[in-house]
Amino acid sequence: MKKAGKMLLLSILIAGLIFGSSVSAASENRVTDEMTAGEFWTIPMGATYLSIKDEFGDISQGRQQLRLELENAEWAPINEWFEHRFRFYEDNDFSSIGTADSVNFQRVTSNRMDIDFSLEETITGFSSDEIRIPLIMTVQEVGEATVRITPLHGSAVSGGEYVVAEVVESDLRVTIDEPVSFGPGETAILSNIVLDETKPQSLELTDAIEIRLPRDFQWAEEVAFTVTGSGGFQNQATVDTANYGGGTRDLAFTLEDIGIERRNIRALGTITLEGLGIYSESRTFGDVSITFGGDLENHIIEGADYIDYDVTMEIEEEPRNIVSGRLNTSREGGFSLPTLIMEEEVLDSWVPGRSVTLSFEDWIKIMDVDGVSAEDFTPGDSSITFTPQRTGNQRMYYELDMDITVQADREGPIEALITSRGLATDYTVEMGEAVRPVTLQATSVPVLVGSETVEPMNILVAENLPRGLQAGTLELKLSEGTWQEEVDVSVESGDLELGEVTVEDEKLLITISQESFAPSVIQINQAMVDLPEEIELGIYTLSAGGDAMVDNNTEEAFMDVDDVDTINLFEVVEKLGPSKVQFTVDSTTYLVDGEEVEMDVAPFIQNDRLMVPVAHVAIGLGYTRDDIHWDGDARTVTLTTADKELMMTIGSRELLVDGETVEMDAEAEIRGDRSFVPISRFAEALGIPYSWDGETRTATFEPN
């Protein structure tokens, strides 16, 4: 190194120690060729470089200083380093070699090298945006050999650590591409097998290369394979397998035998074996291991998957969501399912010439088919039939594409069932998921028979996906009754936009003026429904339909299905009240259909009877507080129902039921300004079933 360069580098190092480093990440760094190397091998000059490329124009101005530190490797001696071994590039094209002006370096220790360089054209003599630093080094033990960049003295070079080589124990690495699959009676052509030297000349031209298959497998003698030498080797040869072990499980040759030569004794060599064929009729299935031996250290690779007769039926991507009730107007039909791959894994697994039927549930209609010749198919069918044929001696393979539409009120997995006498078994393939565009939500309310209206209700229409509601009309239809004229409709959440809202008797019509980008929710607030004078007991529903959601109610698809969702909206009953009420001794909380209700006093036991505050007796038996009357002067409690009158007097054990006396085991009494009565006697008189749990000391009444 020139004296001026040494002094410059020394001043840079001192400044770096004083001021430290300030890094502005502005370079793109990489190792040009990550290598596989044997232990203690010296990577030769030119085998790989550390590339530092100007990313944003920050390192093309001024000199850049950095420290390079090796891990699990040592730099080559200083006498092997020269400025001209550094390379400068512009847009990945070589522009110039390094000079004493453009590059300075110092081997500080065996694993530390300090570099300073310039990309300025006035110094390099050429326009450059990249420097490539030669990685002349000796790797050490098994593991990764890395180089770490540390910028110095405010350099804009990005810091980081990069793998230069993977150090392996063996002098030779044997790899194969993806294993192939084959079955009995088939000849499988293996993926390329690559033999890489990790040290120069570790594979001699005269070394015996022996490749062995498992028992019951043999090298296909009618198949020739190709051997190609590269790197430190040269030439390519086509090898007649029959001359080197074809028809047996052992293949043996030397590189010299087949015409491969050594081109460079210092370079790592690579041998590629292409087109090797194997054959078997074994009934033992599994991975096929290939062992390399002879003069080579033993290497075992998994070369193939030997499988029984089989056919694959699978989709080439994830199942798709299909919106129920819709036609795909852009395709003038249905929505596309993922492509179904139907592939014979082993020759003769699938018998040609025998018809195959693919069918869906009746609520799924096929609108179009591509990839097979469907026989007697009409759009709107739920199944197709085709007859597969074999070409020559090739495995049968089909790619089936289908467009479908789904019945408006259905949701769930879209499964195709594939059957044929030419297949060993039936196949079921999940191809998608049917999603209803919206879901109705409302709490069903009881309505007393004879009522003129249903109490105000809140109803939600929730989109299950974006654009669940399209531009058009959302129709909410009552199974009985009519909407009152004034209906408050709003968008509770999301970006959906509504237009006009009108009422046509049992139909509430909501115009969708702009579709959503995110699932939205429509709320019908405090909706009132008028009931006819005569209405039977039972449950009545609300349905959601309209052309904002459903457009496949056509002759080809689902003529009679107009609604997406239907829910129970109200129930006409003979009387109102809870279905289950539970009182617990000494607890001021009781449950009404699972909901807690507070009392200011707790029930207690008297003469084995549960005594309950009279104010809560009515609720407990399914009536209202208005059905209970307290006469303070006569000190009587009276419960009046539609067909009975029950009266009890404080201090008395008699219960009057429509004027007739019924004896009780406990007296009605007053405690702490509260009247208590034996609730079970009232329940018995009204025919209301109840039960007693002795462990929890809880009485349960079931009025309805």
pLDDT 10s digits, 677-700: 888 888 888 888 999 999 999 999
For the chain, what is the radius of gyration of the CA atoms?
43
How many Å apart are CA 272 and CA 394, to the nearest integer?
A: 27
Boundary-marking domain end, from 282, 306, 330 = 306
Task: Return the CATH number at 527.
Answer: 2.60.40
pLDDT digits (tens, 9 = 90+) for 126-177: 999 999 999 999 999 999 999 999 999 989 999 999 999 999 888 898 999 8
533 band by pLDDT with thresholds 50, 70 and 90: confident
User: Could you tell me if 128 and 89 lie in one domain?
Assistant: yes
Count how many domains the chain has. 5
Residue 14 has pLDDT above 80, yes or no: no
User: Could you tell me if 384 and 442 lie in one domain?
Assistant: no
Burial of 464 from C-beta contacts in 10 A (0-12 / 13-18 / 19+): middle
- On whether the CB atoms of residues 489 and 524 are closer than 8 A, the answer is yes
User: Could you tell me if 612 and 640 lie in one domain?
Assistant: yes
User: Could you tell me if 13 and 152 lie in one domain?
Assistant: yes
* Contacts by residues 90-96 (CB-CB < 8 Å, ≥ 24 positions apart): 90/126, 90/127, 90/128, 90/129, 90/130, 91/129, 92/130, 95/124, 95/126, 95/127, 95/128, 96/124, 96/125, 96/126, 96/128
Burial of 691 from C-beta contacts in 10 A (0-12 / 13-18 / 19+): exposed
pLDDT digits (tens, 9 = 90+) for 366-415: 999 999 999 999 999 999 999 999 999 899 999 999 999 999 999 999 99
The pair of structure tokens assigned to 428 is 């079921």
Return the pLDDT at 672. Answer: 76
User: Could you tell me if 140 and 11 lie in one domain?
Assistant: yes
User: Could you tell me if 380 and 486 lie in one domain?
Assistant: no
User: Could you tell me if 371 and 324 lie in one domain?
Assistant: yes
Boundary-marking domain end, from 541, 573, 605 = 573
pTM of the entire structure?
0.56
Boundary-marking domain end, from 306, 327, 356 = 306
Which residue has 């490749």 as its token pair?
211
305 band by pLDDT with thresholds 50, 70 and 90: very high
Task: Return the CATH number at 346.
Answer: 2.60.40.740
Top pLDDT among 16 and 568 is at 568
Burial of 157 from C-beta contacts in 10 A (0-12 / 13-18 / 19+): buried
The H-or-E segment that residue 250 falls in is: strand 250-253
pLDDT digits (tens, 9 = 90+) for 418-461: 999 999 999 999 999 999 999 999 988 888 888 888 888 899 99
Task: Return the CATH number at 648.
Answer: 3.30.457.10
Return the pLDDT at 13. Answer: 38
Residue 23 has pLDDT above 70, yes or no: no
Q: Which domain holds residue 97?
A: 3-168
pLDDT digits (tens, 9 = 90+) for 459-472: 999 999 999 999 99
The pair of structure tokens assigned to 106 is 């110092």
Task: Return the CATH number at 105.
Answer: 2.60.40.3550
Residue 22 has pLDDT above 70, yes or no: no
Mean pLDDT on 250-262: 96
Residue 12 has pLDDT above 60, yes or no: no
- On whether the CB atoms of residues 208 and 252 are closer than 8 A, the answer is yes
Strand partners, 385: 357
Residue 10 has pLDDT above 70, yes or no: no
How many Å apart are CA 59 and CA 154, to the nearest integer?
A: 11
Return the pLDDT at 163. Answer: 96
User: Could you tell me if 9 and 124 lie in one domain?
Assistant: yes
CA 3, chain centre distance (Å) = 64
Q: What percent of the chain has pLDDT over 90?
A: 63
User: Could you tell me if 483 and 462 lie in one domain?
Assistant: yes
User: Could you tell me if 131 and 208 lie in one domain?
Assistant: no
User: Could you tell me if 18 and 144 lie in one domain?
Assistant: yes
Q: Where are the beta strands (DSSP E) in 361-426?
A: 364-370, 383-386, 397-406, 412-420
Mean pLDDT on 578-585: 86
User: Could you tell me if 203 and 299 lie in one domain?
Assistant: yes
> Smallest Cα–Cα separation from 193: which of 247, 246, 251, 244?
251
Residue 214 has pLDDT above 80, yes or no: yes
How many Å apart are CA 555 and CA 335, to the nearest integer?
A: 18
Asked which of 34-48, 248-262, 336-350, 661-675 is least confident by mean pLDDT, the reply is 661-675
